[in-house]
Structure formats: C-alpha cells, structure tokens
Amino acid sequence: MIKSFDFFFDFTSPYSYLAHKQIRNIENQYKIVINYMPILLGGLHNLAEIEAPAFIPSKAKFMIKDCKLFAEKLNIKFKFNSHFPIHSLNLMRGVLIAKKENKTSLYIDKFFDACWKDGLNLNNQSVVNKILEDLNLNIETFKLKISEQKIKDELKKRTKDAFLKGVFGAPSFIINNKMFWGQDRLEFVLKEAQKN
C-alpha cells in the first residue's frame, strides 16, 4: 500500500518553500504520495488567534536568519523576498484553479520558486501574469475563476478544515492522524510513513 501525507502550505511562508523543496526529493526517493493542501495562512492565524511571526519585529529578524541557515544546510537556493509579506490570497485560490487544469505540481513549483528562489514581487500583477503565461494559463480566465464564489468558499473551507484538524501554521503535515508542524519535522513524517 502506497503511503501518503497531507502538506498544508501557503506561498507567503518561506518555511513552506523549504518544506516543498524537501518534499520534491521525498517524492522522487520514496513511494509516498503528497497531498498538497492549499490554505490561507492569514485566515488560519485568525482562526487560531495567533499573531504571525512576520509581524513581530524580533521574530521576523530571526526568521530571515533561520531560513537562510536551513537553506544553506539543505543546499536549497533561497533568497528572502524583499517584497515580503506576499499577499497570497489570489495565488492560493489559483492552486485550486491549477488543479482543475491538471497543472497543480507545475503551478506550485513556479510560484514557490518565483517567491523564494528568485525574489520576485508577487504583489505585482504583471509579475504574476508573466508566470501564468509561462504556465499556459489564460490570464483573463484565471482572474474570472479566482473571483468565483465557489473557489473563494473552497479555500475558506480548506483553511477551516485544517484548523479543525489542529493545524495552526505552515508548513504542517498530517499522516496517520498525526500532525507535525515545521519544515524541520519532515524526518518524523518520513518515519511515520515507514510504519506498517
């Protein structure tokens, strides 16, 4: 039986990017299926009544150093985005659109890299449009679809469902009804996946 785990993420989270890069290696090395679970981190923080570390100056300063430290250790190309925080609402809705177009994996790769490898300003619509073009996604159709109520509701529901499962931050992982938080917990996720 092929094992799987849920990966809860938001493009605005640099730690989600670091997890994503490790997960790509896990997918290639192990027979594990990754269920990509887009959420809105800001909405999740509101539900959990948590203030995002990025908005606490002392934590934000540490976070930049911490991400660079892990990226270097893991040999992951990383640049802390000078346009942070990234307003990811429409980008996360876009994951749901990409899924319907069978482009989930490529969409996630492109936007994570754009944000945390290339340091692009994803708050700028023209930058986002260029990436959508590279993905062969029609820009006008994309804009219309992310404005549809059913897409808005689906992302809200996914975020609330994650919260109800105990998720309070990103990245988070759920396997065998156990929740792990943080990109540095993937080794424990793997151990759990290898259990019979």
C-alpha to C-alpha distance for 32 and 29, rounded to whole angstroms: 9
The model's pLDDT over 126-137, given as tens digits with 9 standing for 90+, comes to: 999 999 999 999
Count CA atoms within 13 Å of residue 22 on its CB side: 22
pLDDT for residue 27 is more than 90:
no
pLDDT for residue 60 is more than 90:
no
The model's pLDDT over 145-189, given as tens digits with 9 standing for 90+, comes to: 999 999 999 999 999 999 999 999 999 999 999 999 999 999 999
pLDDT for residue 196 is more than 70:
no
Could you give all domains of the chain from N- to C-terminal order, each with its CATH number? 3-193 (3.40.30.10)
3-state helix, strand, coil in the chain (%, to 5): 60, 10, 30
